[in-house]
Structure 1
Amino acid sequence: MFGKEHTITEHFPHYFLDYREKLSAEPEDRWSNRITSQDGTWSGNLFEFYFKVIERITSELDVPFHLDPETLMRKADSPVRKALREAVLNTIIHANYYGSVGVVIEKEKNNFVFSNPGVFRMPLDKALEGGNSDPRNPTIFKIFSQLGLGERSGYGLESIYMTWKSKHWKRPSIREEVQPERTTLTLEPVSLMPEHIIKKIQYHLQEKFHLLTPDQLLVLATAYDEGKVSNKRLQNVTGKSPKIIGDELSLLVSEELLIQKGAGRGTVYELSDKFQISNNDNSDNDEGKLDNDEALYDKLLAIASPARDKSRLNPEKMKAIILELCQYRFLTITELSDLLDRKSRNGLRVSYIKPLVQDGKLALRYPETPSHVHQAYKTVSKQ
């Protein structure tokens, strides 16, 4: 825990601590930052290694603004920071320092990897339940606990999984190896429900979108992203039992949101025709639905970002954004409200669309029928 590296290795010959950081996407680039217990510039003990790693591994994380109600000071913490701290602690506390390999923690552009010598001392599913504690190094665990670091006994791994789940990120993975024994935890802050896919599902389902549960939305988003899903695939994504997933899939099939194909273990599910362009959609809109042009959709989302980031925006700024959005094609009030993230379509129509039409800055798709069910708007080009 304390002491110097050369003294520690007299008792634990294979003792080695290694933190590697690679934030470049270029494969030929090596580590942009590295800390090892053998570099001679610091003590090389577990205590100092923990704080060095925590400083580096959380350095690029955004922290939401929250005030401590007692001190009225900003709380420089977040659930993700806590989860990463817990992962570092678990790696140190559960390492087998008599093993033949060292502790390795890696931070890359899209993932965090925590690897320690030794395997679980209890079944993994029991460890994930929470409340079950069997630290390999109880004295190290006790010292960190007395310093106020780490979750309460037996809940560290569960809290990491719950944090990733609350963010709708890819489920953490744990791999155990033998000869030599090693346990590796990989955390990827990769969204299972990308915003552009959620907006597409919302566009297709309209009011029914808000009736979906988080699990149902995750199923549809996975099917949208991957083309099809299976019960087994969703088990890996959600961590839930086959029965629970099967019930959700059956419900989505009965609601005609998914189509079942195949049988038995080969059963897969695809999105239904509710997510396709119908003939009625095309009859009044030869451009088709906006989200079919993914490049344009992403471009419009970027243009609308100032409005999406603020619930209140200067009216003139909002009008300028609307005009920029509508310069590429006719957009309906539904498409505009979704792009701008404004729930009140009527408010958007009355406060912005109508004045812009009256000023001759927006043109109607159906000028002879202002209240047309498929009415859409396009910016009038300057001559």
Structure 2
Amino acid sequence: MRQFLLNWNFIVEQGGRLLPTRAGVLLFGRAQYVRQLLPRPVLDYQRIDTLFERWSPEERWHDRYVFEENIFHTWQGLVARYMRIAEHPFSLDPATLRRNDDPPDYVAFREAAINLLIHQDYGDHGRKASIKLFTDRTIFWNPGDAFATEAELLDPTEKEVRNPAIVKAFRRIGLSDQAGTGIRAIFRNWHELGRTPPQLTNDKARKQFELVLIKKALVTETMQRFRQTIGAGLTPEQADALTLALEMPQITLTDIRGLGITTTQQAKAIADHLIGQQLLESLSDTHFQAPEGLRERFAAAAEMTIGQGTLRVGAQPESQPESQPESLPERVLHLLQTAPLGKSEISRALGQRKVSGQLNKTIRDLLAKQRIEMTLPDMPQSRLQKYRLAESNKEPKA
């Protein structure tokens, strides 16, 4: 053990004494020495059993543990907590007949958590890394930005790292993928699960990094039916890129690569094909958007799904109700007839991935005209804010 620590510079010889290096203490040191070196926790773990949009920071978490041990003990404790709540489907490898009961999202969680532990800025004594597990997503937040750009993080090459000794220790022990592939492994695992690509925010100005794993299907039943009405032969990769374009205001080549596409050149070829099919519009060499007409067709298809169940997109119902909403304000009012909804819930019901500026304006206009009202009027910016029909807009009860 001593030779291992000497070989990898986790202890050094000075004046006939063996002294631990900073990396050695953070990796293997006793908790009391870790706290002397790092006067803040290594990690703040929180499990919050609610949807992200319904959560408020004032609400209490359901499980919390603040890790102040060394990095390896922190990793072991984190995995123990994750395994208690993760799904463990039983399967056999057809080639080896060996049992495999790893959680489906284990690769993504492992790489994201290790990324959090080995790349954070341990010189930042004021902010601590955190993992927040909601029912619909997991958010990994780190003090310290990545030196590479978001596009470069998807490249299978080694990058400059903040803590090289810590990084090497994890890789030599086999706890992390080979150099330069961690973020790619996260995106690949998430895409194999059929989910929307992870969200990366590498904020160099604030020196922070955030990775969000959203547990949402990339291709919904509505989207599957809508694809059949387009009349264009698309590969699975092209169809997924189109799906992403319809869910977001605009997409980039990096977004397309987040769908499991290896290179920027391959992502560009996919975008070019969709442009040639008039299913995508170019905003620049790297930015694209779905045509407005196609987006409106998809929004209508999503609304048909809400109102008609499994109605086939493109088919005309035998009789159109006179109250069928057409404009965005009418569609919002129609959705609020059933129950109060938050902005994100309204946006998803309209077939949009994010709350658009147009939807924000529509809600402001409806509030100003007193056609809708807030459920929390005294806290207009609350995460729990929802909107409901004003009394004057409610249909009379029979």
Q: TM-score, normalised by structure 1?
A: 0.58
> Offset at 1:24?
1.9
1:27 corresponds to which residue?
Answer: 55
**In 1, distance between residues paired with 2:283 and 2:143?**
43
For 1:70 and 1:201, locate their aligned partners in 2 and report how far apart those are by CA, in whole Å: 35
Alignment of 1:1-383 (within 5 A): 1-25=27-51, 26-27=54-55, 29-38=59-68, 44-57=69-82, 59-68=84-93, 72-77=97-102, 80-100=105-125, 101-177=127-203, 181-202=207-228, 204=229, 211-222=233-244, 226=247, 232-233=250-251, 235=253, 237-239=255-257, 243-244=268-269, 246-253=271-278, 258=279, 268-270=290-292, 292=304, 294-297=306-309
Q: Which amino acid aligns with 1:193?
A: V
Higher relative contact order (CA 8 A, sep 6+): 2
Residue 236 (structure 1) shift: 6.3
Which blocks of at least 5 consecutive residues in structure 2 are unaligned?
A: 1-26, 258-263, 313-398
- Change in Cα spacing, 1:71 to 1:9, as seen in structure 2 (3 Å) is same
In structure 1, the residue corresponding to 2:100 is in which secondary structure?
Answer: coil
SS at match of 1:152: coil
Task: Report deviation, 1:35.
Answer: 1.0
Identity of aligned residues (%): 25
1:49 is displaced (CA, Å) by 1.5
Change (3 A) 1:79 1:158: farther
CA distance in 1, matches of 2:289, 2:147: 36
Residues 10, 292 of structure 1: CA spacing in aligned structure 2 closer, same or farther, 3 A cutoff? Answer: closer
Deviation at 1:266, TM superposition (A): 9.8
Change in Cα spacing, 1:86 to 1:235, as seen in structure 2 (3 Å) is: same
**Structure 1 Cα separation of the partners of residues 131 and 282 of structure 2:** 43
Quote the RMSD (CA, aligned, Å).
3.9
What's the counterpart of residue 358 of structure 1? none
CA apart distance, 1:184? 1.6
What CA distance in whole angstroms lies between the structure 2 residues aligned with 1:183 and 1:108? 19
- Kindly name which structure, 1 or 2, has the bigger radius of gyration based on alpha carbons: 1
Output the amino acid matched with 2:70.
N
**Which segments of 5 or more consecutive residues in structure 1 lack a partner in the other structure?**
39-43, 277-288, 301-383
SS in 2 for 1:186: strand
Q: Distance in 2 between matches of 1:77 and 1:65?
A: 8
* Higher percent of residues as helix: 1
8 A contact 2:195–2:218 mirrored in 1: yes
Instruction: Indicate if the aligned counterparts of 1:17 and 1:104 stay in contact, CA closer than 8 A.
Output: yes
Deviates more, 1:237-246 or 1:50-59: 237-246
Distance 1:293 1:24, change over 3 A: closer
Work out whether residues 235 and 245 of structure 1, in 8 Å CA contact, stay in contact via their aligned partners in 2: no
Change beyond 3 A, Cα 1:136–1:85: same
Amino acid at match of 1:294: I
Tell me how far apart the structure 2 counterparts of residues 60 and 171 of structure 1 sit (CA, whole Å). Answer: 22
C-alpha distance 181-260 of structure 1, shift in aligned 2 (>3 A): closer
| 1:53 match: secondary structure | helix
Q: Aligned-pair distance for 1:294?
A: 3.5
How far apart are the structure 2 equivalents of 1:188 and 1:160? 12
Give the 3 Å change call, closer, same or farther, for CA 249–16 of structure 1 in structure 2. Answer: same
